A = this chain, B = another copy of it.
Amino acid sequence: MRIHICNPNTTASMTTKIAAAARAIASTGVEIIATQPEMGPASIEGYYDEAFAVPGLLQNIRAAEAEGALAHIIACFDDTGLDAARCLATSPVLGIGEAGFHAASFIAGKFSVVTTLGRSIPIIEHNLGRYGLASRCAKVRAAEVPVLALEQKNSGACLRISDEIELAKSEDRAEAIVLGCAGMADLAAELAQKHGLPVIDGVAAAVAFAESLVRLGLHTAKLGGYASPRAKPYTGLFAGFAP
């Protein structure tokens, strides 16, 4: 079973970390193909970066679909381009934010999210609202750590995240934590140990659930909003992306 995981930013060290996290959880016999777009932003911090991450992500989804990927994972916690990817693919497509929220819902009544920057909070709240899981999330918190600081040793990022987890326990009555950035994938186990509650990394959750959907024989529904794109001319830089 081939599963495609796309880091929608162009930072290779982050793709490497994500691929490692994905392979660590993947079942025997599951091949993880990790990609990043050829074009777009070095990190995704807000709606503007998202807009330029999506075309390259879709290019990678299309290529991976052609090469037999049975599921796709979007490895940005904002679930950048998830709906567009579902229109393009017949295989299931999961976002790591979405996967993290669902995992938390299976094991806890309420969870809090700890993400990077405050500007990402509204995006995550929008997603929670759309997925229907807003009532399960006690609070979306920001550690005020830029995404790429997570790639640097000694940035103090982990400590800031840890502080927010402590607040989530005491102030939000959170029963579990969802880490709000793909770049935090390597911190989950240590933070769970330290704080004594489940700490969920969306990358691992997405891989496990993607395998599940493949085994269940489920495909993306094509009757409504995820119908395949209608044939039509695309112009200029995007001529090659026409459905």
Residues of B within 8 A of A226 (CB): 47, 108-109, 175
> Within 8 Å of chain B (Cβ to Cβ): is A23?
no
| Cα distance, A131 to B133, chains bound together (Å) | 8
Name A38-58 residues within 8 Å CB distance of B: 38-43, 45-52, 54-56, 58
Identify the closest chain B residue to A94 (Cβ). B106
> Within 8 Å of chain B (Cβ to Cβ): is A160?
no
Q: How far is the CB of A28 from chain B (nearest CB, A)?
A: 9
Number of copies: 6
Interface string of A126-155 (1 = CB under 8 A from B): 100111111110000000001000000000
> Within 8 Å of chain B (Cβ to Cβ): is A183?
no
Chain A residues proximal to chain B, CB less than 8 Å: 10, 25, 27, 37-43, 45-52, 54-56, 58, 81, 83-84, 86-88, 92, 94, 98, 102-103, 105-110, 118-123, 126, 129-136, 146, 169, 173-176, 189, 196-198, 200, 204-205, 208-209, 211-213, 215-227, 229-230, 232-239, 241-243
Some 25 contacts from A to B, beta carbons below 8 A apart, are: A38-B235, A39-B239, A40-B238, A42-B233, A45-B230, A47-B226, A49-B232, A52-B238, A55-B55, A56-B236, A83-B123, A102-B102, A102-B106, A107-B218, A108-B226, A118-B224, A119-B225, A121-B173, A126-B130, A173-B223, A175-B222, A175-B226, A197-B222, A200-B218, A205-B212
